Amino acid sequence: MLFNSLQFVLFFPTVAFVHFALPPRYRWAWQLAASYFFYMCWEPGYAALILISTLVDYAAGILLGRTTRQATRRGCLFFSLAANLGLLFFFKYYNFFADSIRTALEDLGFECALPLSGFLLPVGISFYTFQTLSYTIEVYRGNQEPERHLGRFALYVAFFPQLVAGPIERAPRLLPQLRRWPSFDYDRVTDGLKLIFWGLFKKVVIADRLASFVTPIYQSPSAHSGLALSTATLFFAFQIYCDFSGYTDIAIGAARVFGVDLMDNFKRPYAARSIRDFWRRWHISLSTWFRDYVYIPLGGSHVTLRRWQVNILVVFFLSGLWHGANWTFLAWGLLHGGYLLAGHTIEPVRARLAAAVHLDRHDRLLQIIQTLSTFGLVCFAWIFFRANTLSDAVYVATHWYRDWNWPQTFHAFINMGPTINMEPYFFLKEFGLSIGLIGFLTIVQAFQAREPIRVRMHRWPLWLRFGVYSLGLWFMFLFGVFRQQEFIYFTF
């Protein structure tokens, strides 16, 4: 079930109504049933994978809690890692590796036909696998008591607001919240509803509108000019942000309605002043997961420079691989790793340069330059993330700056409607609206720097809030794209 579907519009109020009508001690069961129903609306059989993950990690947690023998504990952890990562590998990566091995062997002159799996990629498998793994690792480390209530643990794995695209929660934070369900709280519920509304707005008004430009251009990049390729890449930067942060807002908002606080996943990422800063603001639940369970165990930064560089590349290689079984994602991950290493290497040079032109660290101009250059680097990396193949990505990366001979390029650009299946007038109208929406989003983000607008709205008089909600509803109704497009991160 998609958050931007009619089914969800009926599903969510029903779940909420029954949730609050039930005595608190039965709410976990209702939430568990609702979560499995939510998932099974997509492909009922694949709920079995969540069940297997749940049972494996529940058993591993219980065994870890019962024994102090290091060898047994290691065995339990290994069992959990092998089972979860094995499922993830089989369903998500097997075909990729089999195909890559076949191609490599063919290049070497060997004939090799490895059988390919015909299974669909289970929605959300990367998310719930990482969430269950974090539980077992925390229990192994002694930071988390094993959960003895199987139902509650199953809900921890399958809680529907964050089941298919995160945020990837940690057991010490989420499990206690699933034991105590608060009663209906007006402020909390309305706050959650506002978040859901804002998330939906970002998805159906901004992200899906931008997708109608990005998709056809990236479908055949060689058929488009440099101006079109750069515009599509810029639009994709906002599309993926609105798509993913929109999903996250709906997830956090829905959970908040039930009294569950999920972690923040985004903190105005395009306001980042460096790539390191970007990763503290983008997909926070995943980057902290990799930090806590991969980067730090590898030694983090408390190792030699060479080893640290390897650690960074390993983390970003895995991060790229996590996103998808495609060379483009690996290139995207490694590019970000490369940015971080390069940024670290030239840091003294940058500092000297800033000092030479008398730019203080807190100087507004320096901040703007840093933000824009970081955004430019991030956009360049998005080329690899979005392209269908590595050769397409290389084409875009080497052509986005070409053919900028005004005014012919501009003339060709404004007449490109038919090449992306849009009538010329419609193309211009949609393009103008898209630019306006990006501007609107940027202004809203700037306003949210200190305090979320929805928190400020609590202090506004009722008539003003009412007017803003009505305006938002009308805008979403009139300009929303109701094609029920999947969220991009559903496929990861």
Partner 1 sequence: MKPCAYKLVWLAAFNAALGMAFLVLVDMGRDLDQCQTDSVLLAMPQDTQFDLAILGSSRAKLFTRIRPNIECLERTLGTRVFGMATPFGGGIVPAKLYLDSFYAQGNRADTVLLFLDPFMLFCRGPNEGHKLVYWEPFRFSFFVRMVREGFDYRRLVTYIRSKFLWNHIAQKPIELGRHDETLSSDLLDPERMSMRMNSLYPDGLDPAQFTRYAKTLRDVIATGQRQGARMIIAFAPTLLGDDPGRPMVAAFLDELQAQHEFEVYDFTHAVADPGLFADYDHLNSAGVEEFVSRTLKPLLRGQNQQ
Which residues here bind partner 1, judged by CB under 8 A? 6, 20, 184, 186, 189-190, 193, 466, 469-470, 473-474, 477-478, 482-484
CB of 7 to partner 1, least distance (A): 10
For residue 212, the minimal CB distance to partner 1 (Å) is 14
CB 286 within 8 A of CB 319: yes
| Cβ distance to partner 1 smaller for residue 339 or 427 | 427
Q: How far is the CB of 443 from partner 1 (least distance, A)?
A: 24
By three-state DSSP, how is residue 167 classified?
A: coil
Nearer to partner 1, 18 or 394 (CB): 18
Closest CB to partner 1 among residues 148, 483? 483
Task: Tell me how crowded residue 481 is: count the other CB atoms within 10 A of its CB.
Answer: 18
Pick from 165, 260, 258: nearest CA to 203: 165
How many other CB atoms are found less than 10 A from the CB of residue 238? Answer: 22
- Judged by beta carbon, residue 192 or residue 246, the one nearer partner 1 is 192
| Least distance between partner 1 and beta carbon 193 (Å) | 8
CA 28-1-118 angle, to 5 degrees, is 110
CB of 470 to partner 1, least distance (A): 5
> Which residue, 79 or 475, has its beta carbon nearer to partner 1?
475
Whether 396 and 217 have beta carbons less than 8 Å apart is answered as no
Q: How far is the CB of 17 from partner 1 (least distance, A)?
A: 8
Nearer to partner 1, 150 or 464 (CB): 464
Distance in angstroms (rounded) separating the CA atoms of residues 48 and 50: 5
Give least dist CB 24 to partner 1, A. Answer: 15
Query: Three-state DSSP class for 117?
Result: coil
**Are residues 262 and 252 in contact, defined by beta-carbon separation less than 8 angstroms?**
yes
Asked whether the beta carbons of 348 and 400 are under 8 A apart, the reply is no
Kindly report the number of other CB atoms within 10 A of residue 16's CB atom: 18
For residue 1, the minimal CB distance to partner 1 (Å) is: 14
Look at residues 103, 486, 104, 339 and name the one whose alpha carbon lies nearest to residue 331. Answer: 339
Query: What secondary structure letter does DSSP report for 177?
Result: G
For partner 1, the closer CB: 13 or 172:
13
Nearest to 166 by CA among 131, 204, 201, 208: 131
If phi over 0 gives left and psi between -120 and 50 gives alpha, with beta otherwise, what is residue 300?
A: left
Residue closer to partner 1 (CB basis): 192 or 320: 192
Cβ(159)–Cβ(39) below 8 Å? no
Residue 113, both tokens: 């036909």
Q: Helix 347-356 to helix 327-345 angle, to the nearest 10 degrees?
A: 50
Annotated catalytic residue, options 323, 362, 411, 458: 323
Q: How far is the CB of 487 from partner 1 (least distance, A)?
A: 17
Q: Is 180 helix (H, G, I), strand (E, B) or coil?
A: coil
Asked if 147 contacts 61 with a C-beta cutoff of 8 angstroms, the reply is yes
Written as six digits, the tokens of 198 are: 């804002």
Asked if residues 178 and 261 have their Cβ atoms less than 8 Å apart, the reply is no
| Three-state secondary structure call for residue 84 | helix
Please give the DSSP secondary-structure letter assigned to residue 91: I
323 belongs to the catalytic site: yes
CA pseudo-torsion sign 130, 131, 132, 136:
positive
Positions marked active-site: 323
